[in-house]
Amino acid sequence: MTMQARLDAHAVAPEAFKPMMALEAHVRASGLEHSLLHLIKTRASQLNGCAYCVDMHAKEARADGETEQRLYMLSAWRESPVYSARERAALAWTEALTLLAESHAPDEVYEAVTAQFSQAEVVNLTLAIATINAWNRFGVGFRLVHPVA
C-alpha cells in the first residue's frame, strides 16, 4: 500500500500553524534539555502511530548527538538501563498524557515527574507533550508522508 497524503493543511490554512509554531518556540526556549524533548516527541509519535513525526524527531535527535541505541530502545524504555531517572519520569509522563483516556494520569506517574522536575519544568514538559500530540493529529489525520531516503 502506498501512503498518500490526504490534505496539505499548511497550504490550505497557513494561519493555523502560527500558534503551533509559537508553542514550539516556547518549548524550545523553556530550558528543558533538547535531548529530552527529542525523546518525548519521538515516544509520543510512536504511541500515536505518526510515521512522519517519528522520522523527523529521530533524525533531529541523531543530528543533535542522540545515540542509535537510545532511539532503538525507546519503545522498551522501561526495560533498558540507558535512560536517566529524569528521562524515565518524562517518558512515563509522556505516555500517561498521550494515552490519557486509558491512564488518567496516575498519581504515581505525577509523583515521579515532580520528583525530577521543578513545577515550572513540569508545566513546560506537559506543554511539550501536548504540542507533539497536536502535531501527531495533523500527521496521522492528514496522512503526512515522511521522506524516504
What string of pLDDT tens digits covers the 149 residues of the chain? 677 888 888 888 999 999 999 999 999 999 999 999 999 999 999 999 999 999 999 999 999 999 999 999 999 999 999 999 999 999 999 999 999 999 999 999 999 999 999 999 999 999 999 999 999 999 999 998 888 88
For the chain, the helix, strand and coil percentages under 3-state DSSP, each to the nearest 5: 75, 0, 25
What CA–CA distance (Å, rounded) separates 105 from 97? 6
Query: Is 126 exposed, middle or buried (CB count within 10 Å of its CB: 0-12, 13-18, 19+)?
Result: middle
What CA–CA distance (Å, rounded) separates 15 from 3? 26
C-alpha cell at 61: 535527535
Give all strands (DSSP E) within the chain, no chain letters: none
Residue 129's nearest CA partner among 45, 25, 10 is 45
C-alpha cell at 88: 524515565
**Which pTM does this prediction carry?**
0.94
C-alpha cell at 133: 500530540
C-alpha cell at 59: 533524525
* Terminal alpha carbon distance of the chain: 18
pLDDT of residue 1: 65
pLDDT of residue 66: 97
pLDDT of residue 136: 96
pLDDT of residue 6: 87
Q: Mapping DSSP to helix (H, G, I), strand (E, B) and coil, where does residue 90 land?
A: helix
